[in-house]
Amino acid sequence: MDLYGIDSEAVRRLDALLESGVTVTVTAHTHPDGDALGSVSALVGYLRECRGKDAVAVLPDSPAATVRPIVPAGVPLLCFDTQPDACLARIAASDLVVLLDANGFSRTEGLQEAFEASPAPKVLIDHHIGPDTEHFQVVFSTPDVSSASELLYYTLLELPDIGGDPRRLPADTARALLTGMTTDTNNFANSVYPGTFRMAADLIAAGVDREAVLADLYNRYRENRVRVMGYLQYEAMRITPEGLAYIIATREIMDRFGVDEGETEGLVNIPLSIDRVKMSILLKENGGHFRVSIRSKKGWSARACATSHFHGGGHENASGGKLFWPGDIACREDASAYLEQVSKACLS
């Protein structure tokens, strides 16, 4: 099972680190999405159940209510926004750190310093370009995979105790892996590779209930989410002559519908279903800046747009960044004019 050329020497070193480590901290990027939570939960579950480790998830901030249920009850979770001291103490006490679904500790924002200062050996398992290899002793990194969950799945299969047999993974681990991959591919709509389908087939054969996974992910939203998504598409979406669709979700709109920002997950993909739209940008107001999500059709680069105009980056067709005021724009109300310029720069 050498689907991604997973380096057997790296697997040996990973296995040795997992064997010698006792207090393992597993982390992921800020604003954790389904892939971050799925992969972190899967690895913590595996380490606790199969290896008997004191494994704990430590995240830069608390998961949004919509994705929080992805973390099973048996996975201990500390979040820096609510328990800063406990997080820092845990990192200081760890003898192994694993970063998932992020290309470096800068993506852990407030925890970056603590992780980089820790003398514990560190492992990176990620699918974003440009891995920061400097701080890691073992790196599994390729952008040619659907998700961190998928890369973790094939890495776990290579470990001697799993020996290529997904039925040896704990049930919660198997389910978390399928969940993480499902969210990052937008339920098999993008970034799907032959290995992605193979992973799904293997995990379902091993007993994961895919219908239950889908029901938990997609059929448990609050009514407010559906209403605000409709409102934002009807009232707030603009489409430029070049084919950029953009939506600005202001604080006022979010407050009016009583939704938090996690509840607009998936909205940025919807305008891409319009024939003439090449790229979609969603701005979500967050204190003194907008959080920016960008999606593009094949042939147009969300990544280049995020890098050039929004201090960000990511995948070729799915990226993100930030837009600050004052700074990038003088005031919040200038965001539309800025996006019209971005449209000309990126799409003409």
C-alpha distances out from residue 279 to 246, 296, 298, Å: 8, 4, 10
User: Angle at Cα 260 formed by Cα 315 and Cα 72, nearest 5°?
Assistant: 75
Q: What is the rounded CA–CA span in Å between residue 329 and residue 325?
A: 5
Q: Is 265 in the site for Mn ion (CB under 5 A)?
A: no
Tell me: does residue 202 bind Mn ion (CB under 5 A).
no
Taking the complex as a whole, the smallest distance from the CB of residue 35 to Mn ion amounts, in Å, to: 3
Minimum distance, C-beta of residue 252 to Mn ion, in the bound complex (Å): 31
CB of 223 to Mn ion, least distance (A): 28
Q: Which of 101, 172, 202, 285 binds Mn ion (CB under 5 A)?
A: 101
Q: Identify the sign of the CA torsion 230, 231, 234, 240.
A: negative
Minimum distance, C-beta of residue 66 to Mn ion, in the bound complex (Å): 16
Smallest gap from residue 147 Cβ to Mn ion (A): 5
User: Is 126 a binder of Mn ion (CB under 5 A)?
Assistant: no
Residue nearest Mn ion, Cβ-based: 35
Beta carbon nearer to Mn ion, 25 or 191: 191
Of 29-37, 70-78, 82-90, 279-287, the segment contacting Mn ion by CB under 5 A is 29-37
Backbone angles phi, psi at 283, to 5 degrees: -105, 130
Judged by CB under 5 A, the number of residues near Mn ion is 5
Cα 343 to Cα 348: distance, rounded to the nearest angstrom: 8
CB atoms inside a 10 Å sphere around CB 290? 26
Q: How far is the CB of 133 from Mn ion (least distance, A)?
A: 18
Rule CB under 5 A: say whether 184 interacts with Mn ion.
Answer: yes
Which of 17, 35, 63, 281 lies at the binding interface for Mn ion (CB under 5 A)?
35
Q: Nearer to Mn ion by C-beta: 101 or 172?
A: 101
Q: Is 150 in the site for Mn ion (CB under 5 A)?
A: no
- Using the contact rule CB under 5 A, the part of the chain among 34-42, 56-64, 136-144, 251-259 near Mn ion is 34-42
Distances (CA, A) of 253 to 144, 259, 284: 37, 9, 10
Q: Which is nearer to Mn ion, 35 or 132 (CB)?
A: 35
Look at the chain and count its residues. 348
Identity of the residue, 179 or 343, whose beta carbon is nearer to Mn ion in the bound complex: 179
Instruction: Tell which residue, 219, 285, 233, 235, has the closest CA to residue 255.
Output: 285
Cβ-in-10-Å burial (0-12, 13-18, 19+) of 230 comes to: exposed
Structural tokens at position 91: 């990192």
Among 113-121, 152-160, 178-186, 295-303, the segment contacting Mn ion (CB under 5 A) = 178-186
Q: How far apart are CA 312 and CA 316, in angstroms?
A: 12
* Residue 17 CB, nearest approach to Mn ion (Å): 23
Q: Which residues, listed in sequence order, are joined to residue 79 by a DSSP beta bridge?
A: 59
Which residues sit at the interface with Mn ion, rule CB under 5 A?
35, 101, 147-148, 184
